[in-house]
Structure formats: structure tokens, C-alpha cells
């Protein structure tokens, strides 16, 4: 046998016995030893290695060292390196759920950095004002739904007035909480923001005329409260700069409430009231006339809006609609984006039957997705894969179109609170045609989102290359080695023609 073939045969005999190319992290040699960095030492078959005629012994140190002798090691090492490269090139790349999660986290971090623009940071401030209110909105919304059910069934008539008070008390004063949080977020004294915002809900404003119209308590709502508190912050900061320190404790709070209060009463309440009315009118018009088309667009674009950070602008709109109408008609449509994600994830599960890692991730994340927590599916599955994220948006579009169609036909579906989505939104549903009809329409929208997301992803979510790349088994290379059994079994015979050096 030629020397080159003999050296290659030695390398070929060694490679499977150290766990295959996948187990080799580094290759080097000294005067007499082949030194290998290994991922998992338990995959090495010491006895079988020692049985190879060219191997004089093994040493398990910081690297795994195979003694080949001077001269031989310098010739076997290049052959061993070539075999490792060839095996790695021939073996399919196995993409795991951890890999996808890392890609998703990188995309999320990159998107977060892109979203750090002045406008988006301002939107984040606005969101931070309303997000702390969500638990109260949810709790009061569920109580309102329970109270409505008891009233319709004519049960517990002595209790329903108390439930109505519990459900409505927070909403009656929500402007005060918005003012408090706004001042806190913009760097002012929170209680002064709450004090100015409280003017909006004070019953006595009904005795005041502004712009030739009599004001009404609550006019301007949360938008007016937000504007009033921001103004109060700027007035307060101006006072802190110019008012002498000895008078600050008396003058600054007084001027803050007085100046911002007057502007609120004789300006902001009217302007914010008009804007709030326009928002409600536009939402009703959009779904009454746009219907399925409007729902299709809103449901399909919501996830990209979330990625861009623009969804935060919707929070004051939702709150305004809840304050005006008792529920927001936009949230059930936007919630369909999560249904599209669930359907897409299910399709990925069936399209990648060999990739157990990704399938395990999907199985663990699906229950959360059904309850409206879509982030694990977005950043762990669909977004890193690329196409499935787009087809998930298609699923959301069809779900939104379904709910929007019924809004156009006169069956309004709304949510009495913001925050929950998916199945978790059922207790918060409200509408204009009874709870049964509202629940049926919302459930139909979810089913439409699941089915459309699944079908779009199953048939269009994978290119041939993507499917080939990801639909691979995670069976490690060393498990396919038949040269030897486990340590302690009869070692494989040395390749023919290898002589003792």
C-alpha cells in the first residue's frame, strides 16, 4: 500500500473512534502525538483506538492525545484534517430551536436599536403611561361582563348595582390616573399631574362655558388628561428654574395647577373632546364601511407594526374607545395576528417532522400562543425562519377580515379592556348583539386565523432550499458509526494494510 493511502487509512480509522467530525473542535500535533480538542470525551473508544496498529497509545489530558510517533504524526494529521472537513461538508447542517431562538433574540435586539428614534421613544413614553392601568382595566372589564350577564339573566338584582359601581368607578376616574402617570413619565411631580387631570372629571365643569359651549364632566377624556399633565410638567419645570427656593414650596404647585388648569378648562378639554369624538366616529365608520377590507389590513399589518414599535400609538386610541363606548372594536381584530402565528407554527411543526428541536419548541410555546402570548412563537420560530412570519401575517389578515366583515354587517365585536389576546380575551368580549353572538364571531375569527396561517405556511412558507436545510434529523454523526460498539466490546479490526510503525 502506498504511504499516502496508509496514512489516510490510519486517519480514517481514528476519526469514528473519537466521535466523528462533529465531536472534533480542534486539531493539532506535536512531534509524536495527534492532539484533538473534543466536545464530548465520552464518545471516544479508547480500547479500539489502542487496537489500531499505527497507534502507540493514548493520553487524556487538556486535549485528547493519540501517540503516533515521529514522522507518522506529521503525515496522518493532514489526512485527518481533510477527512474532518469532508465529513462536515457532507453532513447536513442541523438547525436547532436554540439556534432559532438566538437568531430571534438578535433580530429583536437589532429591531430595538432601530426603534430608538425620538418619535418611537416618545411613543414608548405614551405606552408607559397606559400600561400600568391595564390590570385595573382587565379586572373592571371582567366585572362589567359578569354584571351584564347577570342583568340579562335577571339574576341577583340586589348585587348588580354594586358590580356596576365596581366596574365603572375606575373608568370614571381614569383621567386622574392618566394624569398622574403622565407627570411621572415626563419628569414632573405625579400628584400635580393627577390634580390637573382631575379637573376634567370634576362635575362642576358643567357650569363652565368654553368656545360658546357648556363643558361636560369627562370631556376630552384620557387625551385631555394626558395633554393637561404634560403642560403641568412644563409649567412646573419653568417654576423650578425661576421661582426663588424660599418660595418654591408655595408658588410652584400653585402656579402649576392654576396655569395648566385654566388652559385645560378653556382649551384642552374642548380640543381633546373633539379629537376623542373623531376617533370614535372614524373607528365606527372604518368598520361599518371598510368591514372585511379594513379588518384584513389591520389584522395583517399588526405584527409588522409591533416590530416597528408603532403599535404603542394604538394604546391611547383603545383607551379612548373604551372610555367612550365601553369597549374597543379594534382590539379583537388586531388579536387575530396572534391566531395567524399559532396556525403558522402548527404548519412549521408538520413541515419539519425530522427536526425534533424546533418541534419541541413549538409544542412548548403553542399553549402560550393560544392564550395570546405570541412572543415565543414569533422570536423562537417564525421570524428567524423568515417566510413563516409573512404567512403568519396572512393568517392574521384573514382572521381580521372575518371579524371586520361582521362589524360591517352590524355585529360589533369589542373588548372592554386592553392587554389580553387569543383565548384570554373571551372574558372581556362585549358587543351590540348579545354575548353569545359576540363570542361566536370572535371564535370564528380565531379559527379563520388558525386555518389561514396554517395553509399559507404549509404551502408557501418554505422554499425547497429552506425545507432541505431545516428538515433534518438531529441524530449525531457518531451514532451512525458502525466500526465499533461501546467501550468494552470487541474492537473493530484495523484497516487492511496498516502496518505497525
Is residue 45 exposed (0-12), middle (13-18) or buried (19+ Cβ within 10 Å)?
A: buried
Cα atoms in the 13 Å half-sphere on the side-chain side of 378: 20
Q: b/e per residue, 309-340, with b = 16+ CB within 10 A?
A: bbbbebbbbbbbbbbbbbbbbbbbbbbbbbbb
* C-alpha–C-alpha distance, residues 223 and 217, integer Å: 14
Tell me the CA distances in angstroms from 149 to 79, 141, 144, 171, one per residue in order.
Answer: 78, 12, 9, 19
Nearest CA to 58 out of 20, 17, 9 is that of: 17
Place of cell 377580515: 401
* C-alpha–C-alpha distance, residues 429 and 326, integer Å: 11
* C-alpha–C-alpha distance, residues 50 and 53, integer Å: 8
Cα atoms in the 13 Å half-sphere on the side-chain side of 263: 16
Could you give the 3-state DSSP secondary structure of residue 309? coil
Is 393 a residue of the active site?
no
Q: Please tell me which residue in 30, 140, 239, 393 is annotated as part of the active site.
A: 30
Nearest CA to 389 out of 295, 451, 307, 465 is that of: 307
Tell me the CA distances in angstroms from 241 to 184, 201, 244, 268, one per residue in order.
Answer: 19, 31, 8, 25
Could you give the 3-state DSSP secondary structure of residue 491? coil
* C-alpha–C-alpha distance, residues 134 and 208, integer Å: 32
**Separation of first and last alpha carbons in the chain:** 14
Question: Residue 492 carries which DSSP code?
Answer: P
Active-site amino acid positions? 30
Amino acid at each position: 500500500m502506498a504511504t499516502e493511502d496508509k496514512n489516510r487509512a490510519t486517519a480514517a480509522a481514528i476519526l469514528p473512534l473519537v466521535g466523528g467530525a462533529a465531536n472534533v473542535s480542534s486539531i493539532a500535533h506535536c512531534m509524536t502525538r495527534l492532539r484533538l480538542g473534543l466536545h464530548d470525551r465520552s464518545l471516544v473508544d479508547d480500547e479500539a483506538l489502542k487496537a489500531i496498529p499505527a497507534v502507540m497509545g493514548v493520553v487524556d489530558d487538556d486535549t485528547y492525545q493519540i501517540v503516533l510517533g515521529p514522522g507518522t504524526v506529521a503525515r496522518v494529521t493532514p489526512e485527518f484534517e481533510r477527512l474532518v472537513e469532508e465529513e462536515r461538508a457532507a453532513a447536513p447542517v442541523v438547525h436547532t430551536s436554540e439556534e432559532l431562538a438566538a437568531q430571534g433574540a438578535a433580530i429583536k435586539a437589532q429591531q430595538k436599536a432601530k426603534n430608538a428614534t425620538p418619535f418611537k421613544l416618545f411613543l414608548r413614553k405614551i405606552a408607559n403611561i397606559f400600561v400600568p392601568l391595564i390590570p385595573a382595566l382587565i379586572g373592571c372589564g371582567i366585572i362589567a361582563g359578569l354584571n351584564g350577564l347577570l342583568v340579562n339573566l335577571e339574576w341577583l338584582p340586589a348585587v348588580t348595582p354594586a358590580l356596576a359601581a365596581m366596574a365603572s368607578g375606575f373608568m370614571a376616574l381614569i383621567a386622574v390616573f392618566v394624569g398622574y402617570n403622565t407627570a411621572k413619565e415626563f419628569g414632573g411631580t405625579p400628584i400635580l399631574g393627577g390634580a390637573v387631570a382631575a379637573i376634567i372629571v370634576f362635575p362642576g365643569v358643567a357650569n363652565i362655558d368654553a368656545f360658546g359651549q357648556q363643558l361636560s364632566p369627562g370631556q376630552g377624556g384620557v387625551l385631555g388628561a394626558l395633554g393637561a399633565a404634560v403642560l403641568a410638567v412644563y409649567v412646573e419645570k419653568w417654576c423650578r428654574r425661576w421661582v426663588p427656593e424660599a418660595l418654591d414650596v408655595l408658588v410652584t404647585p400653585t402656579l402649576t395647577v392654576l396655569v395648566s388648569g385654566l388652559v385645560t378648562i378653556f382649551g384642552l378639554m374642548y380640543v381633546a373632546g373633539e379629537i376623542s369624538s373623531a376617533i370614535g366616529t372614524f373607528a365606527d365608520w372604518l368598520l361599518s364601511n371598510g368591514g372585511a377590507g379594513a379588518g384584513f389590513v389591520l389584522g395583517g399589518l399588526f405584527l409588522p407594526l409591533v416590530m416597528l414599535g408603532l403599535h404603542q400609538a394604538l394604546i391611547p386610541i383603545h383607551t379612548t374607545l373604551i372610555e367612550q363606548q365601553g369597549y374597543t372594536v379594534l382590539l379583537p381584530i388586531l388579536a387575530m395576528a396572534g391566531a395567524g402565528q399559532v396556525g403558522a407554527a402548527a404548519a412549521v411543526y408538520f413541515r419539519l417532522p425530522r427536526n425534533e428541536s424546533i418541534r419541541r419548541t413549538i409544542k412548548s410555546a403553542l399553549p402560550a400562543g393560544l392564550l395570546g402570548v405570541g412572543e415565543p412563537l414569533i422570536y423562537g420560530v417564525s421570524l428567524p425562519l423568515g417566510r413563516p412570519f409573512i404567512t403568519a401575517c396572512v393568517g392574521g389578515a384573514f382572521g381580521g377580515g372575518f371579524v371586520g366583515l361582521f362589524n360591517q354587517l352590524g355585529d360589533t365585536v369589542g373588548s372592554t379592556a386592553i392587554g389580553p389576546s387569543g383565548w384570554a380575551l373571551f372574558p372581556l368580549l362585549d358587543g351590540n348583539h348579545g354575548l353569545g353572538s359576540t363570542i361566536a364571531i370572535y371564535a370564528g375569527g380565531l379559527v379563520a386565523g388558525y386555518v389561514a396561517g396554517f395553509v399559507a405556511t404549509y404551502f408557501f412558507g418554505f422554499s425547497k432550499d429552506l425545507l432541505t436545510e431545516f428538515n433534518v434529523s438531529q441524530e449525531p454523526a457518531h451514532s451512525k458509526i458502525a466500526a465499533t460498539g461501546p467501550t468494552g466490546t470487541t474492537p473493530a479490526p484495523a484497516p487492511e494494510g496498516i502496518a505497525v510503525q
